[in-house]
């Protein structure tokens, strides 16, 4: 009995000694946030003071890209450390735990939990309610509130949208309070956790915000930041799709997110842009509430912060709104690290992938190197932001469709072999497809050969239960959500 007591005491003392120098982790995820944030400069008017302050005390990866331009596959990849091409998860279904081969895959929070961390998840980290059902206790120690829209108007604020007038497809302002929004409640939960965190364990706190995902509702004060008369519109080049291949339409063939043609016909382009900007600033204010609480807590000096978005969003660029593309507006995402070991006010333009977050956080926290990762730790770039990275950033949207970005080029290859190439230094808006049909491909053969080496091979078959936004190339043509694509029916 006495021996047991002593050995328990020794274990407690040892554990405290080990934990004492382990940094905590605060991971902030934002849904559908493109590069319209101050640290990335994607929109000249955008006001995101909290993210700017985080960038000032950390390192921003200015050339970071998601692995899939859609919630479920992107988050599955980030949290498991596997590419969509190796999970077969490309659609809004399945939840990867439903697949026998990933039932026990150790996710990012679970990896920290296995190293003695207390793990907490609030808001949208996994897609929808994933992880919160049966066996929820296996995913983390503490679940906070799920993501929600919160206050809604009595009826939609915009005209009925194509593709079934989806209830989420809406934007604008109406009388409500910031406190009644789902993201406010998620931020409040995170603040409460930081104020009452037990001291005996380091923590891994994941906080996922829903906005600026549609419906883009915000209170009037956030719209007032962007006066309609002076707000800058994104550059929308008429005819920009004239040089993109036919299959570039297949990857977003039929969606609830309206095309630019519908936005224009319904005078909704400016309202959408303004609502999106308002929501970006609102969500930034909620990031600020959480970061202020961290600053006021005993953990201010010993917490690694990482902020990311699961993918970007088009606001009319390339004739579409929404995600589901392989261009900059869909793949380019905020990725900011701050805290112990991270240089202040720094930028790194080397290609980075959301997939890299898992091994990077493990390295920053000095845990054993996680095995079986497809991401590569960004620690060398955190130590020296100028240090080159050989591997480009790869984004995949359904089997066979990939984009590859290095520090200069974006190369896209679709499942039917069609190609695009953009010189992002000379053409940051990716207007000019250098290898459009009829153009001389030869001057770019070397660049294409170099980038093509990184295209995923041996792609895993589509995961069982795949649904929603699934594109397949079959012997007799392309199928969108099980329905054969008839090219002449394309909605421009």
Closer residue to Ca ion (CB): 325 or 381: 325
For residue 243, state whether it binds Ca ion (rule: CB under 5 A).
Answer: yes
Instruction: Examine the residue annotation and report whether 71 is marked as an active-site residue of this protein.
Output: yes
The DSSP string of 389-431 is -SSPEEEE-STT-EEEE-SSEEEEE-TTS-EEEEETTT-TT--
Residues 272-301 that bind Ca ion (CB under 5 A): none
Shortest Å, Cβ 32 to Ca ion: 4
**CA dihedral sign of residues 49, 51, 54, 58:** negative
- The site map against Ca ion for 352-391 (x = CB under 5 A) is ----------------------------------------
Tokens matching residue 313:
């969003």
For residue 431, state whether it binds Ca ion (rule: CB under 5 A).
Answer: yes
Q: Applying CB under 5 A, which part among 48-56, 242-250, 266-274, 277-285 lies near Ca ion?
A: 242-250
Closer residue to Ca ion (CB): 275 or 303: 275
The DSSP string of 257-296 is SPBHHHHHHTT-HHHHHHHHHHHHHHHHHHHHHHHHHHHH
Cβ-contact 275, 220 below 8 angstroms: no
- The site map against Ca ion for 306-345 (x = CB under 5 A) is ----x-----------------------------------
Containing H/E element for 309? strand 303-309
Residues 68-97 that bind Ca ion (CB under 5 A): 71
Cβ-contact 99, 117 below 8 angstroms: no
Closer residue to Ca ion (CB): 431 or 479: 431
Nearest residue to the partner Ca ion, using Cβ: 71
Closer residue to Ca ion (CB): 19 or 431: 431
For residue 257, state whether it binds Ca ion (rule: CB under 5 A).
Answer: no
- For Ca ion (CB under 5 A), the number of binding residues is 7
Q: Applying CB under 5 A, which part among 4-12, 111-119, 276-284, 430-438 lies near Ca ion?
A: 430-438
**Residue in 208, 319, 199, 174 with CA at minimum distance from that of residue 259:** 319
The three-class DSSP label of residue 51 is helix
Q: Pick the binder of Ca ion from 31, 35, 139, 353 (CB under 5 A).
A: 31
Distances 291 to 4, 286, 333 between C-alpha atoms, Å: 42, 9, 20
Residue 285 has φ and ψ, to the nearest 5°, of -65, -30
For residue 420, state whether it binds Ca ion (rule: CB under 5 A).
Answer: no
Choose the catalytic residue: 43, 65, 115, 127.
127
Torsion-angle region of 16 (φ positive above 0: left; ψ -120 to 50: alpha; else: beta): alpha
Closer residue to Ca ion (CB): 117 or 444: 444
Query: Which residues lie across from 216 on neighbouring strands?
Result: 171
Closer residue to Ca ion (CB): 76 or 303: 76
Instruction: Examine the residue annotation and report whether 43 is marked as an active-site residue of this protein.
Output: no
Q: Pick the binder of Ca ion from 35, 38, 139, 240 (CB under 5 A).
A: 240
Q: Pick the binder of Ca ion from 22, 25, 32, 307 (CB under 5 A).
A: 32
Choose the catalytic residue: 66, 71, 279, 348.
71
Torsion-angle region of 325 (φ positive above 0: left; ψ -120 to 50: alpha; else: beta): beta
Binding site for Ca ion (CB under 5 A): 31-32, 71, 240, 243, 310, 431
Residues assigned a catalytic role: 71, 127
């Amino acid at each position: 009995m006495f021996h047991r007591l002593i050995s328990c005491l020794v274990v407690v003392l040892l554990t405290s000694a080990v934990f004492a120098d382990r940094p905590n982790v605060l991971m902030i995820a934002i849904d559908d946030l493109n590069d319209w944030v101050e640290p990335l400069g994607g929109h000249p008017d955008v006001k995101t003071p909290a993210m700017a302050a985080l960038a000032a005390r950390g390192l921003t990866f200015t050339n970071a890209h998601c692995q899939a331009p859609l919630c479920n596959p992107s988050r599955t990849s980030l949290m498991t450390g596997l590419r969509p091409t190796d999970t077969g998860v490309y659609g809004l279904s399945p939840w990867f735990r439903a697949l026998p081969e990933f039932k026990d895959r150790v996710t990012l929070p679970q990896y920290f939990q296995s190293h003695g961390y207390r793990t907490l998840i609030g808001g949208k980290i996994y897609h929808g309610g994933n992880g919160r059902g049966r066996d929820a206790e296996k995913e983390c120690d503490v679940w906070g509130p799920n993501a929600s829209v919160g206050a809604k108007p009595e009826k939609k604020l915009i005209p009925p949208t194509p593709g079934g007038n989806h209830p989420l497809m809406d934007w604008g302002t109406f009388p409500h309070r910031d406190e009644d929004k789902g993201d406010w409640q998620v931020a409040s939960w995170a603040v409460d956790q930081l104020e009452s965190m037990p001291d005996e364990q380091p923590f891994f706190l994941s906080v996922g915000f829903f906005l600026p995902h549609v419906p883009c509702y915000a209170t009037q004060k956030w719209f007032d930041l962007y006066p309609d008369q002076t707000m800058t519109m994104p550059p929308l080049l008429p005819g920009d799709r004239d040089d993109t291949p036919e299959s570039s339409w297949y990857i977003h063939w039929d969606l609830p997110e309206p095309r630019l043609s519908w936005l224009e016909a319904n005078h909704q382009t400016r309202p959408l842009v303004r609502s999106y900007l308002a929501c970006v600033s609102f969500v930034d204010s909620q990031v600020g509430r959480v970061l202020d609480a961290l600053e006021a807590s005993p953990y201010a000096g010993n917490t690694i912060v990482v902020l990311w978005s699961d993918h970007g969003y088009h606001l009319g660029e390339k004739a579409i709104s929404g995600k589901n593309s392989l261009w900059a507006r869909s793949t380019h995402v905020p990725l900011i690290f701050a805290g112990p070991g991270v240089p202040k006010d720094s930028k790194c333009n080397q290609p980075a992938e959301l997939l890299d977050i898992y091994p990077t956080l493990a390295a920053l926290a000095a845990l054993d190197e996680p095995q079986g990762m497809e991401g590569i730790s960004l620690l060398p770039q955190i130590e020296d932001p100028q240090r080159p990275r050989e591997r480009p950033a790869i984004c995949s949207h359904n089997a066979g469709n990939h984009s590859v970005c290095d520090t200069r080029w974006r190369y896209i290859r679709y499942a039917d072999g069609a190609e695009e190439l953009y010189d992002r230094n000379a053409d940051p808006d990716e207007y000019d497809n250098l290898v459009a049909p009829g153009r001389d491909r030869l001057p770019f053969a070397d660049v294409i050969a170099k980038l093509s080496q990184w295209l995923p091979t041996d792609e895993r078959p589509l995961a069982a239960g795949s649904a929603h936004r699934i594109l397949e190339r079959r012997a007799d043509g392309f199928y969108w959500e099980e329905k054969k694509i008839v090219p002449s029916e394309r909605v421009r």
